Every structure is written in C-alpha cells, then in structure tokens.
Structure 1
C-alpha cells in the first residue's frame, strides 16, 4: 500500500510539474530569438505567442500582435493548443489528486472509483502532453528549417530556439509520464 501511495504521489507531482511548466511556457515570450550586432550595438529580437520584443541593451520594448489575423499560423495554432494544454493539465493534476489513495476526502470513494479516476487522469495528462508537444515540435521544426535554409543569405541573422521551447518539451514529457 505504501509503494502504491508513493507512486501515485509521484504521478501527481509530475502532473503538477507539467501544468506549471505548460503555463510558464505559454506565457513566455522567448519562443524564437535572434541577435544582431551592428558595429558595437547589439539587438535581440524575441518572438513569443503573445508579443514580439526587442532588447537594445538599455531599452526593452514589447509589442503585441496588431490583429488576430496578423499572427503567424504556427504561433496561432500554438496559442490555441497550449491554452488547451494548460486546461487539460490542470484537470489532469486535479483528478490525479482526487484519485490518490493517501488522501482522505469528506466523501467515501471506492477503489473502483479511484481506478476510474486514475484512468481519467492518465487520459487527461496524455492529452495535455500531446497538445503541448505538437505545437512545440512544429515551432522547433519551423525554426530549424528556416535556420538551415540554403536560400537564405549567410550574412543575415537567423532565428534560433528560445527558452520557452525547452520548457514546452519539459512540460510535455512530465505530463506524459503521468499517463496510463
């Protein structure tokens, strides 16, 4: 019984970690970064799901996308899927917590119900992982393809992967580990 409880608690911790990382990755602006240097001035452009920011060393300026239709299609799909992932991972972590055998609830829950809750939590967390990994993979693929594009001049700066991509990978992996 103690081992079952420890494994279930570990599953809950992974689900909560997946939820936290998913929310942070969704809110972060650093999905794609590009640094350009002209003479002694360095400028970093950061593309996010919600804003595009420019850091000129002493000044940091962010601008939201002007219109819904002005958002690149990959980022628009990533927005939708990551918000859905946040919702699914929150529900998955909540159901995981309710299904824990170590937790005493005010109402009595049978072992059959706990099993159904565990299965439901696994499905929710697996869906959350999929809705995180698909947009993160698409943005990664697009960024790598653009970076290595032979038609792009060598002297032009190129976008690279930002920190939010790596948090997205971590979120997807930790959410999936709680699956059935």
Structure 2
C-alpha cells in the first residue's frame, strides 16, 4: 500500500512541477478588464516578464520589461519565488527517483530509500508553497488595484495562468504530503517489525532458559 501511495505522490508532484513551469511561461497572468472601459476593441495582458497588447483581429504586440530595477518589488519577488519553486521541484524529482522502491537507483536499503523519499516529499512541499505565495501575492495586487477607486492606471482581472498556477501548487503540495506519509508509514512498519522480532527472540530466550532450568532440577 505504501508503494502505491509513494508512486501516486510522485506522479502528482511531477505533474504539479510541469504545470508550475507552464504557468511561469504563460503570458496571461492578468488581463485588462472591460468593466467601466469605453475602448473594448483591444486588450492588454501581462506576466512577470512582458506586457502585450492585442487588437480586435487577434494581432499581438509584446514588449519585454526593460530593466529589473525599475520593476515593482512584488514582481521581482514573484519572479524569485517562481524560479525557486522550479529549482526545488527539479531537486525533489531527483531525490524522489532515488527514493522510489520500484527503482534500482541509489541505495538498496529500504530504510535509506524511505528517508530519501521523505526528503523529496518535503522539498516538493516547499516548492508548492513557494509558487503558491508568488501567485497569491500577484493576485492580491491585481484585486487591490481593481477595487481601488483612486487608482488611475489600467485595471486588470485575474488571468487563467493564475488558476493554472494554483492547481500546480496544490498538486505539488499534495504529492509531497503523499510521499512523506508513505515514507513515515514504511518507517513505522519497520519499527513494528523490529519490535515484534525483538519480542519473539526474547520469548525464545526465556523458553530456552526455562528448559535448561527444568533439566537442572531433574538432574
């Protein structure tokens, strides 16, 4: 059962990592709203790297952000968190591959593999939390500007890339929890087996001692 839980966790985390990578590349993190706007023939959309404009016939023109230092602090922080999430996801994938019981990579010890799989699960949880914080922070800024009546710039709505990122973060966190639980379950089974084995050996020793004592009394 723990092997099934472990394999399920790995599939979820791997899928979450891929979705988070697709989110970072996606251009539709925020889309200009038509609410209260007079001009609806064109739309604006942005992500962490560039801003684009699309006209009514579907032709887009994108402009990359010129300099890092001129960007708002929250965009710089979101960039760092998303890249950190991808790096952690890559490390978690390598660790989990080494810790899977169905692979011959790394150590052949079941206890060592369980520890490596648990470490991989924790790394994936951190990766999911990192991307979750970045996406939620970005979404909070969009909603704050949208409902601010004194904000004079272009107002945006949440793009579908944010929902994609939330889904990827949840998959990564859930898969990491599965991996950690499977490793804990395997470790608990090993401890229980060791305790049972120790108790059985103790009973055998006591029985042998009683047999020797009985033999001495008979003599």
Q: TM-score when scaled to structure 1?
A: 0.88
- Aligned residue pair count: 174
The CA deviation string for residues 89-132 of structure 1, in whole angstroms up to 9 with x for no partner, is 12112211221112233x54201111111121122111101110
**Structure possessing the higher radius of gyration over alpha carbons:** 2
1:133 shift after superposition? 0.8
Q: When you count strand as a share of all residues, which structure comes out higher?
A: 1
Q: When you count helix as a share of all residues, which structure comes out higher?
A: 2
After TM superposition, list the pairs within 5 Å mapping 1:95-134 onto structure 2: 95-105=95-105, 108-134=107-133
SS at match of 1:62: strand
SS at match of 2:41: strand
Structure 1: unaligned runs, 5 residues or longer: none
Match of 2:20 in 1: 22
The answer on whether the counterparts of 1:21 and 1:168 sit within 8 Å (CA) in structure 2 is yes
For structure 1, which segment, 29-38 or 165-174, has the greater mean C-alpha deviation from structure 2 after superposition? 29-38
1:134 shift after superposition? 0.8
Match of 1:6 in 2: 4
Match of 1:172 in 2: 169
The answer on whether the counterparts of 2:28 and 2:47 sit within 8 Å (CA) in structure 1 is yes
Structure 2: unaligned runs, 5 residues or longer: 181-219
The CA deviation string for residues 33-57 of structure 1, in whole angstroms up to 9 with x for no partner, is 1045656x61111111111011013
Match of 2:93 in 1: 93
Match of 1:135 in 2: 134
Q: CA RMSD in A?
A: 1.9
After TM superposition, list the pairs within 5 Å mapping 1:139-178 onto structure 2: 139-152=138-151, 158-177=155-174, 178=176
Task: Pick 1 or 2: higher relative contact order, CA cutoff 8 A, min separation 6.
Answer: 1
- Cα distance in 1, alignment partners of residues 98 and 12 from structure 2: 15
